[in-house]
Chains A and B, each alone.
Chain A
């Protein structure tokens, strides 16, 4: 296991380098130049030159890349053009909000998917199964912003059970404020996980080792958790890891709908405002977050399935 962890950590290095290259290239390859974007149509050459100098865009490409990499190594990512704050500070302020939102959504989607997948699998092709699958199929077809809007109207505006936006103060208040957004975000992921887990459980139910466990006279609950769920979760976990990117994408929209001052909202605002340093820094930060999540799900998978570390 320690070897496996070390190997996976080493694999993270090329991924990180690749992320940096892609973001660097993306910002420079796409049409539109930052200076005129910032200054608008009335830009005079002197201003354009000044901005380009400030952003280091007057230097040769390899030098720019070196400065770029160094800025990430030192954490000095420059200042936001619109907010006039250090990018690293903005990320440190906003990213945890998005991380908490995503984490809550992940937990909620598992809490919804696992029990319902069990019921659906055990009652295969009977009414409970059809109802659960039909319900999730509808959930999967609903856009995130639509779900958010409806939940917000019903549980926020009408019933007043939850706040209609914002982030609150203190951890518990944060969780309270993020609950509806997290449910919104969780819905489509839980549908995907449920479908996968249901199929996996059905596969495991027929496995000999489940019959063997039953022949040992074990309690049903023990068989469900230790023998069925654990094996079924292995493949679902891989899907879960791969879905983190989608989840973060959904967070962008959810934060917009619920007016949450997270990284997703910051990303959209910065894109609108052509705030290149922020877009650049945030994109790398999100990509790193996704890579680290991949790593964690990989490790979790290896821990669940000893055959993988071989």
Chain B
């Protein structure tokens, strides 16, 4: 096998090798999709042609047309405007449902990975337990006790979600800990806190960030699922999952009420996946 000539991955010669052209294409696509979405989510009034909550009984269950590109629902509300306004809530879900687990899980994972021993053993059991319970069932159970609503959903997801980040970081820190620079830090008399958070963590956080992107896509799926079950965002607020649930009885006659919010979910999910994949590629080549 030594000299089996495998052709090198061909590098197409580019006239100008700017930074943009060197970024993975998937990454650029992800940025493009999410950038647009964020813009829409911040200024929904600017993009939405109608009031998302305004009933119009003269135009109920209208199919897509020039006046209503995504049609209208059974109350005559403009589906496009509702999809646009929902993006604000759905992107909020993506961020708020994941930021606490990310921060808390990362910090705890770093400590567990650094301390090792009994902390690691206990943590291992917790991980076992968490992956043994269906995540969605656990979240539904917690939400049902706390009461439906977005904030309670964040709490429920946060109670469980940190485990995955902590597991990723703990494994990474454990590897980093054995490298020379950690020893050097100890030799120089740095405190444990300083070694962990100033030196080990910044070098270990990459995979957790990549997972974070995937997790945001999952959070949107979870948030819309809970919305669909009536445990997440509460009607009449526009949220994609709630919208799909509202339209489910009209699927055979007015498919557009459910289908367009679903497409919005798919596109957002794709955006996060592409960003995550691209980021992984980018950070891997940096190394």
Contact = CB atoms under 8 A, between A and B. Distances in A.
6 contacts: A140-B273, A141-B268, A142-B265, A145-B224, A153-B252, A158-B252
B129 A153 contact: no
B20 interface: no
B133 interface: yes
Interface in B225-242: 225, 228-229, 241
B134 A246 contact: yes
Q: Looking at chain A, what size class is its interface with the partner chain?
A: 35 or more
Interface residues of B, number: 40
Contacts of B259: 150
B140 A153 contact: no
Given A18-B128, A268-B229, A141 B269 contact: yes
Given A18-B129, A143-B228, A245-B131, 15 more contacts: A22-B133, A26-B141, A30-B142, A141-B266, A141-B267, A142-B269, A146-B224, A146-B244, A146-B262, A146-B265, A149-B248, A149-B258, A250-B136, A253-B225, A286-B137
Contacts of B140: 252, 267-268, 271
Given A19-B129, A268-B140, A271-B141, A143 B135 contact: no
Given A252-B134, A287-B133, A146 B141 contact: no
Contact of B251 (A144, A152, A249, A286): A152
Interface in A252-268: 252-253, 256, 264, 267-268
Contacts of B193: none
B133 A242 contact: no
Interface of B: 1, 125, 128-129, 131-137, 140-142, 144-146, 217, 221, 224-225, 228-229, 241, 244-245, 248, 251-252, 255, 258-259, 262, 265-270, 273
A242 B217 CA distance: 19
Query: DSSP majority for the A interface?
Result: helix
For the complex of A and B, list the 4 residue pairs with the smallest distance between their C-beta atoms, beginning with the closest: A141-B269, A249-B136, A249-B134, A271-B144
Given A18-B125, A253-B225, A146 B258 contact: yes
Interface of A: 15, 18-19, 22, 26, 30-32, 137-138, 140-146, 149-150, 152-153, 157-158, 208, 242, 245-246, 248-250, 252-253, 256, 264, 267-268, 271-272, 274, 279, 283, 286-287, 290-291, 294
A183 B107 CA distance: 39
A276 to B, nearest CB: 10
B137 A283 contact: yes
Contacts of B133: 22, 245, 283, 286-287, 290
A264 B217 CA distance: 24
